Structure 1
Amino acid sequence: MNKFLFKQIDNIGLVLFRAVFGLLIATEAFGAIFTGWVHDVLIEPPFTFNFIGFDFLQYLQNDILYIYFTLMGIFGIFVMLGYKYRLSMVAYAIMWTCVYLLQKSSYNNHYYLMMLLCWIMAFLPANRWFSVDAKINPKLKNPSMPRWVLLVLIFQVWIVYTYASVAKMYPDWLDASMPALLMSSKSDFWLVGELLQKSWVHWCIAYTGLFFDLLIVPLMLWKRTRMLGFIISIFFHLFNSFIFHIGIFPYMSIAFALFFFSPEILQKRFLPKKKLYTKGEVIVPNYKNALIAVFGIYFAFQIGLPVRHWFFKDDVLWTEEGHRLSWRMMLRSKNGSLTVWIKDKETGEKSRYNYSELLGNKQAGAVKTKPDLMWQLAQKIKTIEAEKGKNVAVYMESMVRVNDGIYHPFIDPNVDLAAEEWSHFKHSEWILPSPEDYNEKPTEE
């Protein structure tokens, strides 16, 4: 165990990844400002649907977020340069975690992966070479790192890809209907729009995506297939970047290859002046037991969270319970309609409530299909009405369809959602049971 975890290996892959990762997270922060994401998702909406329990983050929701994201971008540049690395990485990790928890309507798996990697990188010795810190303080300079550093990063990547593949093993993906639905909105793409509507392309996307996620890490781990895996990875992720516009995630995924290639190849291609480390000492730190315990608990959660939906009643594609933090990437399309009613508990008067004025466009779209957002909206409405001196019940009528299927009732319209308690660990009974035919496609007349 000591030799496996604490043998010293060359750290060139880690320091190169630190530089690329710093550039990418800086790009994410500055890009969020210049593309209007900060304004449209975080500032303009009166309410952003924070993760339940983190309501205090709503106080960030004003123009100070422009300064906030600018600081994040600067910290990202510092990470890239390896300047005040530990402080910069921890600061970015804290700030990005707050951003991630502040809103749920703009859901993207790379936001979650970024948060995890930021915290992991914050505790890794990624500034021991090819960094400003090492130039300022030569005592910090070190060409090696313990093997556990590499193993932690590879295992995290492996978990992401494996669960993404397993989640695709359901009927609407296996029969290529979900890829067909994803491509239906890409018909106007320059040069490839018409091609993306072909049935054979949908089948290729379905099974290329499934097998890529399942096999890419094993391909990269085996020397004989490493270059093939890398070439496939470049094509796969650039295709996703071009078609789906998912930010820095494809480029971060390509950069994961730095964990798999040998130090000799990386030195030759990127840092020819770096001295390769070959001694291979085994240095067991005093904090060995604490380190194993911390990462043991961490990876237990990483393995457990994506399967938690099996312990909830009903189908996750219908209820959404257990969907987040589970690497369920581009698996379903949901549309819905929502009508909100409030009833004055003193007078018994019932009236329709115009909830759209409380939300931005993205939030108004998301709330129609996600039960936790509906519950939060009910709590918000109850609070607003209480400030007016009214004690109200909040009822919702919702119709939802999955993957362009048939619309079905989604929420029990007779339940006062404002009076319900939220539980992260059990099924919400006011979500109506999934109909047997909820994923059937409507027949054409």
Structure 2
Amino acid sequence: MNKFLFKQIDNINLVLFRAVFGLLITIEAFGALATGWVKRNLVDPPFTFNFIGFDFLQYLQGDLMYYYFALMGIFGVFVMLGYKYRVSIIGYAILWTGAYLMQKSSYNNHYYLMMLLCWIMAFLPAHRWFSIDAKIHPEIKSPSMPRWVLLILILQVWIVYTYASVAKFYPSWLDATAPALFMSGKEDYWLIGDFLQLNWVHWAMAYTGIFFDLLIVPLMLWRRTRILGFVVSVFFHLFNSVVFQIGIFPYMSIAFALFFFSPETLGKRFLPNKKIYNAGEVIVPQHKNLIVAVFSIYFLFQLGLPLRHWFFKDDVLWTEEGHRLSWRMMLRSRSGTLNVYVADKENGNRERYDFSEILGHKQNASVRTKPDLMWQLAQKIKEVEAKKGRDVAVYMEAFVSINHGPYFPFTDVNVDLAAEEWHPFRHSDWILHSPMDYNTK
């Protein structure tokens, strides 16, 4: 085990990935400012749906977020250059984690993956070559790293892809209905709009998605299929970038290829002046047990969290319980309607409540289909009305459609959601049971 985990290998994979990753997280931070993402999601809305339990992050929102993301961008530049690396990557990780937990209305799996990678990279010696730190402090310079560094990065990527593939094994993906829905709004795309509407393209997307996610890591691990895997990966992710416009995620996914190519290949292409390390010493650190324990616990969570929805009462596709943090990427279309009613507990009068005034546009759209957001809205309404001197019960009448299918009742309109507790690892009984035919047109 010591030889397997702590044998020293060349660190070119890690230092190159640090530079690319630093560039991408810099683009993410400054891009969020330039495109208005920060303004729409964290400045303009009077209230956002943070991850439950992190309500204190609401106090950071507003104009402060412009400076918050600018600081993140500066940290990203420092990570890319390898300047004050440890402080910079930890600083970015803290700020990005805060931004991620502040709002769920623009939830994206790559936001979660970025958070995980930032924290993983904070533990890794990614600044000991090809960095300003190594030039300023020659004593930290090293051409090697322990093998466990590369292994945890590959394992993290493998988990993401494998769960993304497994999640696609459901009827509306297997019959190409879901990919067809994703393409239905892209008829106006220049040059490829009509092509994206072809039936065979939808079928190709459905099964390419399944097999790419399932096989790409094995293809990249085997030397004989590595070039094929890389070419397929570049095409797949560039296609996703053009068609779905999902920010830096496709390019970060292409950068994962750096974990799989040999140091000799990478050195020849990118750092020809770096002498490849091949001494292969086994250096067991004094804190070996701590390293093994920390990453063993971490990966147990990474393997377990995506499976938690199997322990809930109903189907995750309907309830959304267990959907987040599970690599369930680009799976379904979800739409809904929501009517909110409040009842004054003194006189029992029930009246319809206009909740649009306390939410931004993005939050108004999201709350209509997601139960945890509905519950949070109920708590917010109760709080708002309490400030007016009223103690109210909050009832919600929601109808949800999956993949453009029929609308079905989603919530029990007779349950006061403001009086309910939220249980992240238990089914909420006020979510009505999924109808037999909810996932059919």
Q: Normalization by structure 2: what TM-score?
A: 1.00
Q: Which amino acid aligns with 2:118?
A: C
Query: What's the counterpart of residue 193 of structure 1?
Result: 193
**TM superposition shift of 1:440:** 1.5
The Cα offsets for residues 372-426 of structure 1, whole Å up to 9 and x where unpaired, read as 0000000000000000100000001111110011100000000000000111110
Residue aligning to 1:47: 47
Secondary structure in 1 matching 2:261: coil
Amino acid at match of 1:250: P
**SS across alignment from 2:325:** coil
Deviations 1:309-329 (A, max 9, x none): 000010000000000000000
Q: 2:273: which partner in 1?
A: 273
**1:183-262 maps to which residues of 2 (within 5 A)?**
183-262=183-262
Aligned to 1:153: 153
Cα distance in 1 between the residues matched to 2:214 and 2:425:
29
Q: Does 1:370 align with 2:359?
A: no
Q: Deviations over 1:152-181 (max 9, x none)?
A: 000000000000000001111011010000
Deviation at residue 278 of structure 1 after TM alignment:
0.8
Higher deviation after alignment, 265-274 or 347-356: 347-356
- Corresponding residue for 2:418? 418
Query: Could you tell me which residue of structure 2 aligns to residue 164 of structure 1?
Result: 164
Measured in 2, the distance between the counterparts of 1:350 and 1:414 equals: 11
Which amino acid is 1:239 matched to?
F
CA deviation after TM superposition for structure 1 residue 92, in Å? 0.3
Report the counterpart of residue 117 of structure 1 in structure 2. Answer: 117
Do structure 1's residue 389 and structure 2's residue 389 form an aligned pair? Answer: yes
Q: Distance in 1 between matches of 2:46 and 2:156?
A: 36
Alpha-carbon distance in structure 2 between the residues aligned to 1:324 and 1:261? 32
Supply the distance in 2 between the matched residues of 1:317 and 1:360 (Cα, whole angstroms): 26
C-alpha RMSD over aligned residues: 0.5
Task: Give the partner amino acid of 2:50.
Answer: N
3-state SS of 1:99 partner = helix
Question: What residue is the counterpart of 1:133 in the other structure?
Answer: 133
Q: CA deviation at 1:258?
A: 0.4
Match of 2:72 in 1: 72
* Deviating more after overlay: 354-363 vs 80-89: 354-363
Does residue 302 of structure 2 align to residue 295 of structure 1? no
1:353 alignment counterpart: 353
SS at match of 2:99: helix
d(CA) in 1 for partners of 2:68 and 2:134?
A: 28
User: Could you tell me how far apart the structure 2 residues matched to 1:8 and 1:422 are?
Assistant: 47
Q: Which runs of 5+ in 2 are unaligned?
A: none
Aligned length: 441
| Counterpart residue identity of residue 378, structure 1 | A
Q: What residue in structure 2 maps to residue 95 of structure 1?
A: 95
Letter in 2 for 1:437: D
**Partner Cα separation in structure 1 for residue 64 and residue 432 of structure 2:** 41
Paired residue secondary structure (1:212): helix
Identical positions, percent: 75
CA deviation profile, 1:42-100 (whole Å, cap 9, x unmatched): 11111110000000000111101100100000000000000000000000000000000
Q: 2:429 maps to what in 1?
A: 429
In 2, the alpha carbon distance for the partners of 1:206 and 1:347 equals 55
CA distance in 2, matches of 1:248, 1:107: 14
Distance in 2, Cα, partners of 1:169 & 1:400: 22
- Measured in 1, the distance between the counterparts of 2:360 and 2:380 equals 14
SS in 2 for 1:91: helix
Instruction: Note the alpha carbon deviations across 1:11-33, whole angstroms, 9 max, x for none.
Output: 00100000000000000000000
Tell me how far apart the structure 1 counterparts of residues 174 and 290 of structure 2 sit (CA, whole Å): 43
- 1:286 is the counterpart of 2:286: yes
CA deviation after TM superposition for structure 1 residue 347, in Å: 1.5
* Paired position in structure 2 for 1:8: 8
Give 3-state SS (helix, strand or coil) of 2:51's partner.
coil
Measured after TM superposition, the shift of residue 275 of structure 1 is: 1.4
* Matching residue's letter, 1:88: S
The residue type paired with residue 138 of structure 1 is P
Give distance in 1, aligned partners of 2:67 and 2:41: 16
State the partner residue of 1:33: 33
Structure 1 unaligned regions, length at least 5: none
SS at match of 2:339: strand
Structure 1 residue identity aligned to 2:44: E
1:173 has 2:188 as partner: no
The amino acid that maps onto 2:154 is I
